[in-house]
Structure 1
Amino acid sequence: MCGLLGLLTSDETAAGAVDLVANASHCMRHRGPDEPGTWNDADIVLGFNRLSIIDIDHSHQPLRWGPPENPDRYALVFNGEIYNYLEIRAQLAADEGATFRTEGDGEAIVAAFHHWGPDAVRRLRGMFAFAIWDTETRSLFLARDPFGIKPMFIATGPGGTAFGSEKKSLLELIGRLGLPDTLDERALEHYVVLQYVPEPESLHSSIRRLESGSYATVRPSGAPSVTRYFSPQFSVRPFTDATRQKRYDEIADVLSDSVAKHMRADVTVGSFLSGGIDSTAIAALAIQHNPDLITFTAAFEREGYSEADVAAESAAAIGARHIVRTVTPEEYIAAIPEIIWYLDDPVADPALVPLYFVAQTAREHVKVVLSGEGADELFGGYTIYKEPLSLKGFDRLPSTLRRLAGKVSDRIPEGTRGKSLLHRGSLTLEERYYGNARSFDDARLRAVLRDYRPEWTHTDVTEPVYARSEGWDPVARMQHIDLYTWLRGDILVKADKMTMANSLELRVPFLDNEVLKVAEALPFDEKISHGTTKYALRKALEQIVPAHVLHRKKLGFPVPIRHWLAGPEMYDWARETIEKSQTDYLLNKQPILDMLDEHRAGTVDNSRRLWTLLMFMIWHAIFVEKTLIPNITDHSYPVRL
């Protein structure tokens, strides 16, 4: 993993912008402290910070490659890893006569692009965000991996196009492009509704994200032309009694192969381990390739908010050395400004903080970690995926009766049993489900946001995604929504930013092209069956995952924010943050303070709503007011570990 940055000028003045790009690139030195670098010609400046994982001594970037007649035709900056790079290099050498100067995966990308064109991205098995500059055609090619594991921001103005791994670096360049640094109020409303900023938006109106599964071509004087090359297709292959076990074995085999490829590195690889089936499966498969595997878990002192005991039992069962990082309320609060600076845009997920600390601990021992992200979205792991079964009766009602159920629910007092069922049953799937996010109802949004726009709620984010899943079963449609919203907006941002903040590469073997293929083919009753989520995955892992984890109830990554905000740990801090915030032109503070007092009194659990607004206020203080300067520490780690 690394950090890339580039500036494509519209007037061939790149040579005069080298220092500007180098300084802006320094903002993300945490992504690649091993080796900074820049390269330029008349049109473009490429900046890079390398975290060396494969071919440490030779695969320097920006990387130059080309065919024999023009061996330096292309310049590449690349963030991520290509796990089938050995196979791609062998195929290119055999079929195209391609030759290579290094042993790394970077040359495989450029050679594949040269011989196969933009379709080369479909053949890459890995996580990536990269830029290729073609010195002959004077064109730029940008691409992101199918799931959005690695980030890419873009800004285009009269002065050209800037692109990079982190928004904070682009903020240093947008003045050069002739762009303002104004806040995007539509993106803000989406953030408050969803608890993250959805792609392709950012909270700065001049900067967008290249969406996952997309590539873009850019000319010096033009806007990016974006093409979506990937979209999941949940096309069911039914199980039969004769094929059932074979299908379970296929899942296990494909996941095992993915883990094996994700272990490819010239440095030490460890694994994050919680008390759940996903990370345990990854660690159990990884130790087959590294008997000295170290696993890492975050924990809290408060009872009921730690899976450390279960994780330790799992580590012992598979034979791994295990390390626990316990996080206190004091260090949790102290780290928040620094964490939001690393995030670029706020993500209102309290699990960010323990992930940051466990990544910090892991980096003292390893340079790469594996993790279990993506299993829930691919194999049907969220409890909410059971909802279509419980609401099946409503689907048979005429629309008038469904709406009547909604009106009845409006008259039922909050907290009354059955109110939520009636309300959600009165809505269509498209109306009620937009990922793992709902916390603000319309009344609270109207109270909190000074310029609330009903048309800017979740539907303008989810409508195009739902349009691509017409005719699928409801769970597949929910999975599809989560892949394009919650996964890439919260989970993968959290995973990338918190590990990269500590110069640690995180790899996610579930989010693999071949694993997706077997997951896409699962019927409804192999995801949710016998009251169990991820049914087929659990069956596939029976010989891999220890029994105490296999059928354990999903806990997630619990953080005691609800208790802390009501108690001495966080109440005063939260009130002071709200009162000092200079966001009055965007937010109404009094309803927010009222929510805090309601929460303290125990009448309403407002923790998710409060956390969403507090994270935005701190972000605003850092990036807009500039009244809060995080204490960013430059850590020193060995290149070889």
Structure 2
Amino acid sequence: MCGLLGLLTTDETTTDTVARVDAAMHCMRHRGPDEHGTWHDAHVVFGFNRLSIIDIAHSHQPLRWGPPESPERYALTFNGEIYNYLEIRAQLAEEFDAQFRTDGDSEAIVAAFHFWGEDAVRRLRGMFAFAIWDTETGEMFVARDPFGIKPLFLATGTKGTAFASEKKSLLDIADVVGIGTELDDRAIEHYTVLQYVPEPETLHREITRLESGSFARITPGSAPLQTRYFEPTFPVRPFTPGTEAARYQEIAEALEDSVAKHMRADVTVGSFLSGGIDSTAIAALAMRHNPKLVTFTTGFEREGYSEIDVAAESAEAIGARHITRVVGPEEFAAAVPSVIWYLDDPVADPSLVPLWFIAREARKHVKVVLSGEGADELFGGYTIYREPLSLKPFERLPKPLRRAAGALSERIPEGTRGKSLLHRGSMTLEERYYGNARSFGDAQLRAVLKDFRPEWTHQDVTAPIYERSRGWDPVARMQHLDLFTWLRGDILVKADKMTMANSLELRVPFLDPEVYRVASQVPLDQKITKDTTKYALRRALEGIVPGHVLHRAKLGFPVPIRHWLRGPELYDWANETIEQSQAGHIVDKTAVRRMLAEHRDGVSDHSRRLWTVLCLMIWHGIFVEGRIVPEIEEPIYPVEV
């Protein structure tokens, strides 16, 4: 787990170019405080910050490897972990007599690429973003894992192409690459609606992201040629009478195997633990491989906004040592600028902040943690996935009647029972479901954004994804959409950035190819019922997850900003953020002040919209104005943790 930066130049590299790349690595030193290294040749400069997890004494990067006749043909820089690296090394040694100089997973990637070519990425079980430079062909191959667990930013300019684990590093060498740093107005509008910047966009027009499940080939002077190698589908395999127990066992075995492989490390592995079924399942299975497992939970003092008690009960039930961290409103607000600096682009999810705090606490005890991200998208865990069941009667209505129901809903007063049902029932799935977040409606967006463009909508993002799932059942289509939007735009961004901010590696066993394979075959009636979600997964985890969690309703990770923004905890802080912001050319500060006042007075709940705008203002203050300078500590940790 590390931070990488690479530059492929159209001209020959110079001493100054190497020095600039080396200096640009400093702003992501938190991703790899154990080692720092660079390598270059006539056209390429690689920079690397290493967080040593596997084969600590060796596997240094940038790494050189090649077959016996050309032992340094390739140069690799790699961020992530390959959990089946032992099996890959053994297979390559048996089939091709591949030779290795280390005991790590990095060489497995290069050797796999040498012998299998681009098909190597389909054989990797893990999380990764890597670049391989072939010194003989003069071609760069970069790739990202199927679900987008690890980030990779790209920029191609007049002087070459650069890529990095964090956008900050690319901004530091923008002139070296030959790119501008202008903002992308459309990406800003997408962020404001969705609360995250959807891939492949970033808020800087000339910097993008390599999409999840994709690779690219790059040669000097040419833009990257990208190819999608993984497209998640849901080839449902119905449960036939008498096969239920076997299918549940298949799910349990796939998850147990994934956790076992995710426990591979030469350092201590812990686990995040909430009050939910997903993280509890991961922790319970991890205990089978480490009876001294340490689990970590964060929460708040406010009643109804903490899962600390449930998590503590779960930890006791599975026998884990448990550590908690309670976050108060003052330290919450003080941490926001640092959190946004680490993010690169804003993500208006308040749970980022407590995650940052618990990651800091966990790093005192372990170097790797497991977590439960991805289970909801794969097994049908979000409550909103039950919506198609409640709206099914509307599907039988002729389209004119559905539209009439929508028109009627517009005339019904806010808060009236049935208004929302009529409104949602009048729309198609593509029209009503954006993914798991929507901060602003069009009218609200028009009032807040100075340069509101009605032609820029969420459908810029969702329409191409929906096109690929035509003919599927509605829940599978929602899951598929969330894999490309909410999961990789919010969930995995906060998981990667908040843990790596504290030099902590986070692993997500649910997002494993084998777990995905069995999950994708689960039929609709085994995902969603009238009483629960993730039905098949819950059945599979009987005997693994404690009973008090197994059938508990999903709470999510609520943060009390709705209350804090109305009171002394955050109201003054929010008002000061608005007043000091110089982003008035992007957002109408008068409209934002009005929203804050209405929220304080209880006229309307604007908490999500306010948080979205406040995060954008703070981001602008850091990355555009330079007015806000977060306090970023030097990451100094003992290697042996």
1:574 aligned counterpart, secondary structure: helix
> What code does the residue aligned with 2:458 have?
H
Q: Which runs of 5+ in 2 are unaligned?
A: none
1:566 aligned counterpart, secondary structure: coil
1:193 aligned counterpart, secondary structure: helix
Instruction: Find the counterpart in structure 2 of residue 176 from structure 1.
Output: 176
1:302 positional shift: 1.1
Runs of 4+ in 1 over 3 A off after TM superposition: none
Instruction: Find the counterpart in structure 2 of residue 104 from structure 1.
Output: 104
Instruction: Find the counterpart in structure 2 of residue 383 from structure 1.
Output: 383
- Give, in whole Å, the separation in 2 of the partners of 1:304 and 1:434: 27
> What code does the residue aligned with 2:248 have?
Y
- Give, in whole Å, the separation in 1 of the partners of 2:590 and 2:86: 59
1:15 positional shift: 4.3
1:453 positional shift: 1.2
1:16 positional shift: 3.5
1:119 positional shift: 1.0
Report sequence identity in percent.
74
Instruction: Find the counterpart in structure 2 of residue 217 from structure 1.
Output: 217
- Give, in whole Å, the separation in 2 of the partners of 1:73 and 1:489: 36
Aligned CA RMSD, in angstroms, stands at 0.7
Instruction: Find the counterpart in structure 1 of residue 511 from structure 2.
Output: 511
1:14 positional shift: 4.7
- Give, in whole Å, the separation in 2 of the partners of 1:37 and 1:202: 27
- Give, in whole Å, the separation in 2 of the partners of 1:313 and 1:601: 38
Deviations, residues 147-186 of structure 1 (Å, cap 9, x unaligned): 0000000000110001000000000111112211100000
Task: Report if aligned partners of 1:58, 1:103 keep a CA contact under 8 Å in 2.
Answer: yes
1:454 positional shift: 1.5
> What code does the residue aligned with 2:507 have?
R
Deviations, residues 549-572 of structure 1 (Å, cap 9, x unaligned): 001111111110000000000001
Task: Report if aligned partners of 1:35, 1:51 keep a CA contact under 8 Å in 2.
Answer: yes
Instruction: Find the counterpart in structure 1 of residue 482 from structure 2.
Output: 482
1:259 positional shift: 0.1
Instruction: Find the counterpart in structure 2 of residue 314 from structure 1.
Output: 314
> What code does the residue aligned with 2:544 have?
I
Q: Size of the alignment, in residue pairs?
A: 641
1:407 counterpart = 2:407: yes
2:402 aligned counterpart, secondary structure: helix
Instruction: Find the counterpart in structure 2 of residue 54 from structure 1.
Output: 54
1:439 positional shift: 2.5
> What code does the residue aligned with 1:235 have?
P
Bigger CA drift: 581-590 or 62-71? 581-590
Instruction: Find the counterpart in structure 2 of residue 460 from structure 1.
Output: 460
> What code does the residue aligned with 1:85 have?
Y
1:422 counterpart = 2:422: yes
2:216 aligned counterpart, secondary structure: strand
- 1:106-505 correspondence to structure 2 within 5 Å: 106-505=106-505
> What code does the residue aligned with 2:446 have?
R
> What code does the residue aligned with 1:179 have?
I
Task: Report if aligned partners of 1:148, 1:213 keep a CA contact under 8 Å in 2.
Answer: yes
Instruction: Find the counterpart in structure 1 of residue 634 from structure 2.
Output: 634
1:405 aligned counterpart, secondary structure: helix
1:242 positional shift: 1.5
1:542 counterpart = 2:552: no
- Give, in whole Å, the separation in 2 of the partners of 1:400 and 1:588: 38
Instruction: Find the counterpart in structure 2 of residue 525 from structure 1.
Output: 525
> What code does the residue aligned with 1:360 have?
R
- Give, in whole Å, the separation in 2 of the partners of 1:281 and 1:488: 22
1:622 counterpart = 2:622: yes
> What code does the residue aligned with 1:128 have?
F
Task: Report if aligned partners of 1:295, 1:322 keep a CA contact under 8 Å in 2.
Answer: yes
- Give, in whole Å, the separation in 2 of the partners of 1:14 and 1:419: 65
1:38 positional shift: 0.1
- Give, in whole Å, the separation in 2 of the partners of 1:426 and 1:533: 25
1:596 aligned counterpart, secondary structure: helix
> What code does the residue aligned with 1:588 have?
D
- Give, in whole Å, the separation in 2 of the partners of 1:455 and 1:546: 50
Task: Report if aligned partners of 1:8, 1:14 keep a CA contact under 8 Å in 2.
Answer: no
Deviations, residues 527-584 of structure 1 (Å, cap 9, x unaligned): 0024210000000001100000001111111110000000000001101111111111
> What code does the residue aligned with 2:408 have?
V
1:481 aligned counterpart, secondary structure: helix
Task: Report if aligned partners of 1:374, 1:511 keep a CA contact under 8 Å in 2.
Answer: yes
- Give, in whole Å, the separation in 1 of the partners of 2:13 and 2:311: 55
Q: 1:415 to 1:14 in 2, by over 3 A?
A: farther
- What TM-score do you get using the length of structure 2 for normalisation? 0.99
Deviations, residues 353-394 of structure 1 (Å, cap 9, x unaligned): 000000000000000000000000000000000000000011
Task: Report if aligned partners of 1:152, 1:164 keep a CA contact under 8 Å in 2.
Answer: yes
Task: Report if aligned partners of 1:158, 1:178 keep a CA contact under 8 Å in 2.
Answer: yes
